Amino acid sequence: MHKLAATDLMGLEQYARERPAFRARVLRHKGERQLAVGPNVTWCFEDRLTVQYQVQEMLRTERIFEPQGIAAELGAYNPLIPDGSNWKVTLLIEFAQPAERARALARLKGIEDACWVQVAGHTRVFAIADEDLERENEEKTSAVHFLRFELTAGMIASLRAGATLAAGVDHEHYRYVVHEVPAAMRLGLLADFA
């Protein structure tokens, strides 16, 4: 999957005009790429379109229009685009109540390293987490982590041939398994291996 270049982005004026339709399209797309793993964890599988939306929103919010500012945003977000042999996932840990969230984030240190995917007939692949920066300290983990799942050519071939996909978290305080990722999502995720 190709990384984004400045020429792939809309200028601020164009984006202001096209934002409602573009945003609706991206939100539909993102909905097809979100996986609940238990009641408090959501995986958002990133791709070129989701990253473009994030960059466009940052440029809009920060009113960035100078080439070096645009390049900095692309440099920050392009690593979230899959490289052809992996999935890039934003992991969200969600608890509605602030006090409950604080307790959970203290208990869930290391959760980012306990996330896995498994193609039927193959071994589990555990996430490579937070390659950009450490998101955990001595007291707690972050509510947001960035994961990369590296799949072998054999795993990708099995998925293309129709193998099922499971996903889960195997943390001492949070163990949940999605025994079979919905077929429509699995098929959509195959595009990340282009």
For 134-183, how does the pLDDT look when each residue is reduced to its tens digit (9 = 90+)?
666 678 889 999 999 999 999 999 999 999 999 999 999 999 999 999 99
Q: Kindly indicate the confidence band of residue 193, based on its pLDDT and cuts at 50, 70 and 90.
A: very high
**pTM of the prediction?**
0.91
- Fill in the amino acid letter for 8: D
How much of the chain, in percent, has pLDDT values that exceed 90? 91
Beta carbons of 173 and 108 less than 8 angstroms apart: yes
pLDDT for position 57 = 96
Is the confidence at residue 69, as pLDDT, over 70?
yes
Question: Average pLDDT in the 70-86 region?
Answer: 94
Angle between helices 48-62 and 67-77 (to 10 degrees): 140
How many angstroms separate the Cα of 145 from the Cα of each of 67, 89, 105?
28, 8, 12
Torsion sign across C-alpha atoms 142, 2, 25, 192 = negative
